[in-house]
Chains A and B, each alone.
Chain A
Amino acid sequence: MNHLIPEYLNYWFEVGIWKFIRIFWYFVLFEFTRYIIIDYIVYGIFYLNRKKRQDRWDLAKQKFRLENPLVSIIIPGKNEGKHLYKLTKSLSEQTYTNFELIIVDDGSDDDTPIIGENLKKHGLIDLFLRNDQRGGKASAANFALQFCKGKYIVHLDADCSFDRDAIENVVIPFYIDENIGAVGGNVKVRNYKSSLCAKLQAIEYLKTVSVGRIVTSYLGIYKIISGAFGAFRSDVISSIGGWDIGPGLDGDITVKIRKSGYRVYFEPTAVCLTNAPEKFKVLTKQRLRWDKSIIRFRVRKHKDVYFPNANFKWSTFFSLAENVFYNVILDVLWWIYIIDICINYSGSLQFVIPMNITLYFVMSYVQMCSIYMFSERREEEKYLWKYVAFMTFYTGMYLRIVRTIAYYKEFFFKRSFEDPWNPYKSSRLAKEHGL
């Protein structure tokens, strides 16, 4: 055992650049380029353009304040009554106050109707709608659309809370470019101290949501506006007929908006905090659902974006292609990579595996540096640094395995249509019509 460490260190120096690339091709070609090089280049550009961006923001803010548009905030959900009071308190603290608050109860079987009616009676919400029969989140959100009077619609999840300027900041980008049809808010984990599972998700959200979406938004390939916090232009959302059946309806609507010719934008300063699952069992269920939606929507429903047609747009093509490539294709490639290593380097596995872990470990911290540079909550997020070491196993192993299972189930068995997250009556028809 004692001789392994010096040999391992020696291997680093002896392996040579070409052999290194051959052995760690997966890391070098895909992970390092995408998550280190591109992130830092975008940060560099951001840093250089900061003055210009700030001027553009100030001008948009001025226009927004001058117009003072009515914003309709909609919150569809089932059995969310317990979160509603906190949510209204969080919204009552907003710097922007010209909004109407519409809550849709999608056939709750708990005290939600009583709580909702009570909040309405006390003037904490403007409209409380209830469907006695559950129709699914999309139908509840579409129901709310019927009553929205605002120029912009903000879609929220009931268990979220918001920075004081979140509503204002998520709407301002519409005044930066009139071709922006939807703006995604920055979702962070509120309960990041509660368990290791939540801590790892907090880091993951920072990587994939905060920084990841800044980068994709900058590159024009931003592809998902979180259901937890997103803003839409009323006319745009009406023209595309609102939300379609989920699960994964947030990603779906983003693609629909892109396909209609509008820009989709990510606003990192519009911060919303949400509770992440605290147990791996719950997280696994959630991720299986999310990952299946990539196959269902990106690969099947919206496959037309990959082919030349009248509405073809390169940005939409790249947006979905990047998503499918980095998630689906690379997932398959990762297993090929494992087989490749096992077959071709079976004698050196005692070095290759630790080296891989070391690479990902270092990369996690380098990525964390970029998060630190982009972040507006640097001090609070310092707490997470010591847990970054676990990310190698979390994203490199756990999430990959969950993803593989989800893709397999969806690709061969279309399991997302059986997910109880959406009622069977509508999932059955959506499956029939290939939606």
Chain B
Amino acid sequence: MFKVVKNNNQKILTQGSIDYLIIEKWSTALEGALTSCKAVIIATKEVAWFNDIVLQLRTHKDKNVFLKPVFYKYDVKSEYVIHTDGLFEEDLSNEMVRTIVDKIQNVPQLAFEQNFDVTTRLVQFLFTREAKLVPVKNRHSKIGYIYPFIGLYFTNKEYEIEKQLQFLVNDETLDVKLKDKIQLCNDCHDSYLIYKETCPKCKSIDLEAQDIIHHFTCAHVAPQEQFMNSEDDNLQCPKCDKHLRHIGIDYDKPSSVYNCNTCDHNFQVSQVLAECHSCNHVNSLEELIEVTIYDYELTMKAMLLAEGKYQVHKTEAKNDTLVFKQLLDQERKRHFAKGHSSYLFTVSLTGELLNILDSNYINSFWKDMKQVAREYVVNDLCYVREGNSIRLLLLDMLQVEAEQLQQKMIYNMELLLSDNIKSHITIENKLINVDTL
């Protein structure tokens, strides 16, 4: 059972305990009703209006609006339907709304709230849906794929989406599954490319390919044309006049050659060029930008984080610290060969700039740093990050070796910090023999 209530030109559909706001055209006057309703039904047949409503809802600054379940009544054949929760179907939609609304309400404090950027919105959106982000093929998109939700924030700049998502992958918020690899024009980042075989000398497309024939008996090698007997269709060697009757016995075709009808250049490997259909830029294959398209899914860590069931620390994991301490104790008790010992190497970053820098950047920096550190430590257990410092346990080595590693690490850290921020951040480091602890 449901009823439609018309109030101040706003239609509200109540079904069960759920109020659906029915929108035919976007208006700022809807804002009040939007917060009070649990879901939205788009009821227009105009594609432009439909798109506008979806855009306004999903890019709304209020999280209670952009996360709201959105359904549509008429199949308007718009590519924006992927940003909605589907066609309105009475029972099914009710169930879906309850699940989504529960998820939104059950999140006590969305973990990424303080840094409310696009990627954070995406994580919240995915958490309240099926936790999956599956790009869909679309010929109107510049990269040939459109992304649910996040795609609305990057209209005509789809190329940027993968970069943004990569941050979340690096941060272990998203898992990926390879879907496709695409090439984009170097100039305008469009995927609509026309591939052409061209002459490497003059770039002409007027090419002719011919098989090369090798006559075994006399070692004559030439294009097939030279072996063609003009009187009949038989092959005859121009060098020794013998008839070539049987491929593999008398002759073979070891390769083929192209002849350019424009500049008369002969070559075996044509140059493949990719002409962009949008901007006419002619790309060499090396120039093309390759983008990998993935299907994304929220990681368990991100799900727990979003539900507040995972304690967020600036360290990577508290358990890691405990294991590290145990290892350190063990090393202190250990007997070493003469001159050998284990060393605790601490590196810290200090500077006010660290508080201002984007968290993605900092995380990415430490991620890279961990990669560098992995080359010097026995395993991941000998590495621990605490805020803006890391501690490494360098096992069983000479002091000289430890000092060399110390220098290498510092050198690599300096390389990782880009030039413009290097001067505002200080790297402090300390190398201690575990016996002296």
Show the binding face of A for B, using Cβ within 8 Å.
107, 117, 127-136, 138-140, 142-143, 146-147, 241-245, 425-426, 428-430, 432-433, 435
For A425, the chain B residues whose CB sits under 8 A away are: 216, 248, 252
Contact in complex: A244, B252 (CB < 8 Å): no
28 contacts between A and B (CB under 8 A): A127-B266, A128-B269, A130-B255, A130-B268, A131-B212, A132-B254, A135-B216, A135-B221, A135-B252, A138-B219, A139-B219, A139-B254, A142-B219, A142-B220, A143-B212, A143-B214, A146-B223, A241-B240, A242-B239, A243-B219, A245-B218, A245-B219, A425-B252, A426-B219, A428-B216, A429-B217, A429-B250, A430-B216
Task: Tell me if B's interface is mostly helix, strand, loop or mixed.
Answer: strand
Residues of the B chain whose Cβ atoms lie less than 8 Å from the Cβ of A129: 255, 257, 268
Task: Determine if B267 is an interface residue (Cβ-Cβ < 8 Å).
Answer: yes
Cβ contacts under 8 Å, A138 to chain B: 219
Contacts of A432 in B (CB 8 A): 217
A241 touches B220 (CB 8 A): yes
Assembled-state Cα–Cα distance A426/B255 (Å)? 17
Residue of B nearest to A147 (CB): B266
Q: When chains A and B are docked, how far (Å) is the Cα of A232 from the Cα of B254?
A: 26
Q: Cα distance A435–B240 when bound, in Å?
A: 11
Contact pick for A241, options B212, B239, B248, B252, CB 8 Å: B239
CA distance A129 to B212 in the complex (A): 11
Please name all residues of chain B whose beta carbon is closer than 8 Å to the beta carbon of A133 when the two chains form the complex: 214, 252, 254-255
**B240 partner residues in chain A, CB cutoff 8 A:** 241
In the bound complex, what is the Cα–Cα distance between A241 and B266 (angstroms)? 20
- Please indicate the chain B residues that have their CB under 8 angstroms from the CB of A433 in the complex: 217
Q: Which residues of chain A are near B221, meaning CB under 8 Å?
A: 131, 135, 139-140, 142-143, 146
- Which B181-235 residues have a C-beta within 8 angstroms of A? 212, 214, 216-223
* CB contact list, B237-280 vs A, under 8 A: 239-240, 248, 250, 252, 254-255, 257, 266-269
Contact between A244 and B218, CB atoms less than 8 A apart = yes
Q: Which residue of B lies closest to A428 (CB)?
A: B216
| Partner pick for B214 among A117, A139, A147, A241, CB 8 A cutoff | A139
B218 in contact with A241 (CB, 8 Å): yes
Complex-state Cα separation, A433 to B222, whole angstroms: 21
Looking across the interface, which residue of chain B has its beta carbon closest to that of A131?
A: B254
Q: Which residue of the partner chain, among A140, A147, A426, contacts B217 with CB atoms under 8 Å?
A: A426
- Which B residue sits closest to A138, measured CB to CB? B219
9 extra interface residue pairs, beta carbon distance < 8 Å, beyond A130-B268, A426-B216: A130-B255, A139-B220, A142-B220, A147-B266, A244-B218, A245-B219, A425-B216, A428-B216, A435-B217
Residues of chain B with a CB closer than 8 A to A139's CB = 214, 219-221, 254
CB of A71, distance to nearest CB on chain B (Å): 18
Q: What residues on A are CB-neighbors of B239 within 8 Å?
A: 241-242
A117 touches B269 (CB 8 A): yes
Instruction: Give CA–CA (A130, B266) in the complex, Å.
Output: 13
Alpha-carbon gap, A147 to B214, bound state (A): 15
